[in-house]
Chains A and B, each alone.
Chain A
Amino acid sequence: GPKVLQIPSHQIIDMGQMVTLNCDPVSNHLYFYWYKQILGQQMEFLVNFYNGKVMEKSKLFKDQFSVERPDGSYFTLKIQPTALEDSAVYFCASSSGGARDTLYFGAGTRLSVL
């Protein structure tokens, strides 16, 4: 079936640095999502992005977070600066018609902030 690719699978950075997580969504999908999962905890919604805009974000989506998809390329999540509590697995997803449609997920990027 359709695949969502996340690059890299594991990223280690020092606290305070900037990090960009990349997601290659399913082609022709229009809705893009990021979720965050801390080890042993629930997978939490961060943000929904459609037509170049953030449609919905949670309180976990701090001011240090930003998303974009320039020119239909990768959908990215940038964290600047990073904090220790940002350590988690970040999952990207895409769908053709909103959250009621099937979401296709990547395998996740494990972010370790030291």
Chain B
Amino acid sequence: GDSVTQTEGPVTVSESESLIINCTYSATSIAYPNLFWYVRYPGEGLQLLLKVITAGQKGSSRGFEATYNKETTSFHLQKASVQESDSAVYYCALVSDTNAYKVIFGKGTHLHVLP
């Protein structure tokens, strides 16, 4: 079935350092899935960070960006300079082209940003 694999956490970086959280996906359909990054801040529900529905395109939000690479089946999340407020759990996710009833999530990556 469809699946998502992402960097195992926790990941600890210092403020103003760069960040990359790896994400690769496996999709059984011939067409390409929609890809997402969700984030959960402490005490809150998951919220959408960014999404890309077209292979080759890049999504960006709050200084984060991710590029949909169908050749490597990857959707890595990057940020050039993190802030302490970015500390959260980040989830890579997909919605299959053939089943739009569910989002399939990766295990989540806990990010700690040190001041």
Contacts and interface: CB of A to CB of B under 8 A. Distances in A.
A99 B100 contact: yes
Interface residues of A, number: 25
A105 B105 contact: no
A74 interface: no
A99 B45 contact: no
A107 B44 contact: yes
Interface residues of B: mostly helix, strand, loop or mixed? Answer: loop
B45 A43 contact: no
Interface residues of B, number: 23
Contacts of B38: 103, 105
A45 B47 contact: no
A6 B46 CA distance: 13
A98 to B, nearest CB: 5
A42 B102 contact: no
Interface in A4-56: 4, 6, 33, 35, 41-43, 45, 48, 55-56
Interface of B: 34, 38, 40, 43-48, 51, 53, 91, 95, 99-108
Interface of A: 1, 4, 6, 33, 35, 41-43, 45, 48, 55-56, 58, 91, 93, 98-100, 102-108
13 contacts: A1-B47, A6-B45, A42-B108, A45-B103, A48-B102, A55-B101, A93-B46, A98-B100, A99-B101, A100-B34, A102-B51, A105-B40, A107-B44
